[in-house]
Chain A
Amino acid sequence: MKRRLTFRSIAGAIAFGWLFASLFAADAQGQRRNTAQPAPAAGPKVEKIDEKRFAELLKPNGKPLLINFWATWCEPCREEFPDLVKIDAEYKGKIDFITISLDFEDEIATTVPKFLVEMKATMPTFLLVTADETAAIQMVSKDWAGALPFTVIYAPDGTMSYFRQGIVKHDVLQAELYKLLKPTR
């Protein structure tokens, strides 16, 4: 009896010790993970938008408004992006510039911000999720079938001053923006 008790006591102590050690180790590992792993890189936040917010974004706010529609799956979109980043740097404060991504919703925190970081892009980027793309496309232009990339410039009064389906060139954008920004006599 005494022998059995001793055996039980030893087994219990070992089990308790193992449990305690495991919990301690796990906690310590968790703490290490928390302290050693840096916070995710502060990449641009991509905001998901619906049709309502999309309609609001199409309205200029006192300045010329440049909007680029793109997607990471669209090769010409990726190709023209460095020029757009350049335009953003050149016209900061003079115009409002946003980009609207048509990537799949599950890429909002992965592929899309990753690409923006690669491009060193800082312009506000939104991801449109809508069940009615026809309505969204026609809100922008009746002459647009939905092919990407698509770039549009609205004058401060809301009239569309320029649009381009396909790759847009840096100097063309400069010329179009100049028309809206040149001093009036």
Chain B
Amino acid sequence: MRRKLFLFVALFSLLAFNLTPVSADGGIEIGQKIENFTLTGIDGKEHSFSSLMGTNGAVLVWVSAQCPVVKAYNDRINAIAAEYEARGIRFIGINSNATESLEWVTSDAKEVGYKFPVLIDKGNVLADKLGATVTPEVYFVNKEGVLLYHGAIDNDRSGKNIQDHYLKTAFDAALGGKAIEKTRTNAFGCTIKRAGMAGE
């Protein structure tokens, strides 16, 4: 009886695991809703996603204190944030790197001059849930939390030859009530150093 029960549980778990809908990259897909979550910010306070939501949506930006690609993007991130926060799109920085201490992330955010909250994703729970793997990586949602755009900020890490402003284009389309042409992009960047893979 015990053996049968064990087999049943094992089979059920296997089926349940295999039938759980996941996107190709193991996270959320365009059109799906990001459920509310709460994380502690570098200010030491708890912040819920819903409390940070802008009148026209929000963008989660995966950042890093050590990633040179994020460093190359920081001025652009700040400029886009200033431009679009004024139009109701809230920027929220997320740091999921297990290798970066709170002190380091805090001093980096201060130095870089982020004007938006930076939240610590301890144990990379949010990164796992949404499938974030690289920095910088952005998730743009409408005010209902539905994912509209996921991927890169633009097509050029160096910033010298930007031909496609993916994120700004997505913002402009959404703000203008138009369909976003490119909803999913990729770009080379730094791996998010997840808990357990620190030191890898």
Contact = CB atoms under 8 A, between A and B. Distances in A.
Interface of A: 69, 71, 73-76, 102, 104-105, 131-134, 137-138, 142-149, 165-167
A148 B187 contact: no
24 contacts: A73-B68, A74-B68, A76-B191, A104-B158, A131-B156, A131-B161, A132-B155, A133-B188, A134-B184, A134-B185, A137-B186, A142-B25, A143-B24, A143-B25, A143-B26, A145-B25, A145-B134, A145-B137, A146-B188, A148-B188, A149-B191, A165-B191, A166-B191, A166-B200
Contacts of B25: 142-143, 145
Given A104-B157, A143-B25, 14 more contacts: A71-B188, A75-B66, A102-B188, A105-B158, A131-B161, A133-B188, A134-B185, A138-B186, A143-B24, A145-B131, A145-B133, A147-B188, A149-B191, A165-B191
Interface of B: 24-26, 66, 68-69, 131-134, 137, 151-152, 155-158, 161, 163-164, 184-192, 197, 200
Contacts of B152: 133-134, 146
B78 to A, nearest CB: 20
Contact of B190 (A74, A137, A138, A142): A74
Contacts of B188: 69, 71, 102, 133, 137, 146-148
B187 A146 contact: yes
Given A145-B137, A167-B200, A134 B161 contact: no
A70 to B, nearest CB: 10
Nearest to A144: B186
